[in-house]
Amino acid sequence: MNWIKIDNDSYGTILIAWVICAVLIYLAAHFIKNAWVSLPISALLVVFMVFITWFFRVPNRETPLTDNDQLVTSVADGKVVIVEKVFEKEFLQQECVQISVYMDFFDVHCNFWPITGKVIYYKYHPGKYLLAFHPKSSEKNEHSSTCMENSHGKVFFKQIAGTFARRIVCYSEPGKMEYRGDQCGVIKFGSRIDLFVPLDADVKVKVGDKVRAVESVLAVLPD
């Protein structure tokens, strides 16, 4: 039997949710004498307990062409909401193609390295909690920034918190070698990934596309 793997950094969040739901179920059973009211409330709370556990699942995904270091795969599950040329001013200091993926409540929220390469930059930015699809969320919201490099170029990405997200976990350590498809962190609840690739990269997605972390190729780096 294949058990669902749960993100290691999310057990505390799950435990808190379970304790709160358990207390509410007890209160409903104790104080609401009408079973037609208390039982549906309890059932909904149990469903929520199952959902919150499932929400922090870590999927088992197959990494395409592991020997091809030019592939840039999606950091997260979700919908492509931005594909445009921008000036990346935090670290790269140059024009790039930005590819943004928005995650809703039902998407996997674990994140995965987009390329095989060395981490050359990492910074955590505290901030606000605007809606993740808000244009200013990438600058004003809580987020972490990471840049990776291999022989084909640099890939820069941001894990951006959304309105309901209050914690970003990122495994980036400058100087460490990481491998495409391995987990790089998790964003709790609604959120977004902004990824920046070189202008001469071959972008493979467009706005509106649904992508899957690890499996969907967002771009191909130049030779």
Please tell me whether residues 39 and 96 are part of one structural domain: no
Residue 154 CA to chain centroid, in angstroms? Answer: 20
Please give the Cα distance from 100 to 83 (Å, whole number): 7
Please tell me whether residues 34 and 133 are part of one structural domain: no
Per-residue pLDDT, averaged over 133-142, amounts to 60
Active-site annotation holder among 100, 137, 138, 191: 191
Average pLDDT, the chain: 88
Whether 117 has a pLDDT exceeding 70, the answer reads yes
Q: Which residue in this structure is represented by tokens 């990776």?
A: 148
Please tell me whether residues 34 and 132 are part of one structural domain: no
Does residue 64 sit within a domain?
no
Tell me the whole-structure pTM to 2 decimals. 0.84
Please tell me whether residues 21 and 118 are part of one structural domain: no
Whether 187 has a pLDDT exceeding 50, the answer reads yes
Whether 9 has a pLDDT exceeding 90, the answer reads no
Range of the domain at 32: 8-55
Does residue 173 sit within a domain?
yes
More confident residue, 196 or 32: 196
CA angle 40, 5, 118 (to 5 degrees): 135
Does residue 66 sit within a domain?
no
Please tell me whether residues 43 and 87 are part of one structural domain: no
Please tell me whether residues 84 and 194 are part of one structural domain: yes
Does residue 2 sit within a domain?
no
Per-residue pLDDT, averaged over 129-158, amounts to 78
Does residue 60 sit within a domain?
no
Q: Which residue in this structure is represented by tokens 């495409």?
A: 180
145-154: per-residue pLDDT in tens? Answer: 999 999 999 9
70-113: per-residue pLDDT in tens? Answer: 999 999 999 999 999 999 999 999 999 999 999 887 888 899 99
Please tell me whether residues 16 and 94 are part of one structural domain: no
Domain count, the chain: 2
Q: Which residue in this structure is represented by tokens 């808000």?
A: 134
**pLDDT for residue 129:** 55
Please give the Cα distance from 141 to 59 (Å, whole number): 27
| 191 labelled catalytic | yes
Please tell me whether residues 182 and 212 are part of one structural domain: yes
Per-residue pLDDT, averaged over 111-133, amounts to 83
Please tell me whether residues 165 and 116 are part of one structural domain: yes
**Could you tell me the pLDDT band of residue 1, with boundaries at 50, 70 and 90?**
very low
Q: What is the CATH number of the domain that holds 149?
A: 2.70.70
Residues of the chain with pLDDT > 90, as a percent, come to 61
